[in-house]
Chain A
Amino acid sequence: GDSVTQMEGPVTLSEEAFLTINCTYTATGYPSLFWYVQYPGEGLQLLLKATKADDKGSNKGFEATYRKETTSFHLEKGSVQVSDSAVYFCALSDDDKIIFGKGTRLHILP
């Protein structure tokens, strides 16, 4: 079945560092891809999405490009802030439900 694999955390970076969180997927069809973020004590919220190959999703300085040839959707940010500390989930659509990766915890040090 469809699945999502993302890098294990925790990832610890200093403020203003460059961030990459790797995500690859397996799917039989042509899913949409998502990154969700979960701040402490809260539910998940959509960060960005891409619905077809070569699309780039972006929001709050984060970007991810839908790469069909490598089945990847890596999350990047050029300069992270302490407020970006959270758990990040890569996900794909599967008919009318979403399949989530296990999440990557990100710690940003001031």
Chain B
Amino acid sequence: DAGVIQSPRHEVTEMGQEVTLRCKPISGHNSLFWYRQTMMRGLELLIYFNNNVPIDDSGMPEDRFSAKMPNASFSTLKIQPSEPRDSAVYFCASSLAVRQGPYNEQFFGPGTRLTVL
């Protein structure tokens, strides 16, 4: 299995530009999570999906951020317009939720390092 795949691995853009991050979860997994990691705030959950449906987007910082999961094998996180404070490493993770709650290991992708100038 290739694991969770994220692209691009690095993105450098200018303030005001649109940024799209992509994620392919592990085949067969039914839950997908987007995280943001910074030195100041640590690891933050932005949004997660179950069976392609957004379940909790309370961590999305503001309306500039949006996420979609059009099918079980693909998700995007979009920032429009981007700002320097969005600079961070963005991780996608997936899991197989065979039942409610605590037994579902999350598998993380390698992350996308975003720099907004």
Residue of B42, B43, B48, B109 near A97 (CB, 8 A) is B48
B104 A96 Cβ-Cβ under 8 A: yes
B56 A97 Cβ-Cβ under 8 A: yes
B101 A49 Cβ-Cβ under 8 A: no
Mark A91-110 against chain B: 1 for CB-CB distance below 8 A, else 0: 00101111011110000000
Interface membership of A59, Cβ < 8 A: no
A97 B33 Cβ-Cβ under 8 A: yes
A49 contacts which chain B residues (CB < 8 A)? 105
A34 contacts which chain B residues (CB < 8 A)? 105
CA distance A43 to B43 in the complex (A): 11
CA distance A34 to B43 in the complex (A): 15
Interface membership of A46, Cβ < 8 A: yes
- Interface size of B by CB at 8 A reads 25
Could you tell me the distance in whole angstroms from the C-beta of A5 to the nearest C-beta in chain B?
Answer: 12
A32 B102 Cβ-Cβ under 8 A: yes
Could you tell me the distance in whole angstroms from the C-beta of A62 to the nearest C-beta in chain B?
Answer: 16
A42 B102 Cβ-Cβ under 8 A: no
Interface membership of A89, Cβ < 8 A: yes
B103 A51 Cβ-Cβ under 8 A: yes
Interface membership of A44, Cβ < 8 A: yes
Nearest B residue to A103, CB-CB = B42
B91 A44 Cβ-Cβ under 8 A: yes
Interface membership of A45, Cβ < 8 A: yes
A102 B42 Cβ-Cβ under 8 A: yes
A46 contacts which chain B residues (CB < 8 A)? 105-106
Nearest B residue to A41, CB-CB = B110
Interface membership of B114, Cβ < 8 A: no
Interface membership of B97, Cβ < 8 A: yes
Q: Which residues of B contact A (CB under 8 A)?
A: 4, 31, 33, 42-43, 45, 48, 50, 55-56, 91, 93, 97, 100-111
Q: A46-B106, A97-B45, A97-B48 are in contact. List 10 more A-B contacts (CB 8 A).
A: A42-B111, A44-B91, A45-B108, A49-B105, A93-B102, A96-B97, A100-B42, A100-B43, A103-B42, A103-B43
Q: Which residues of A contact B (CB under 8 A)?
A: 31-32, 34, 41-46, 49, 51, 89, 93, 95-98, 100-103
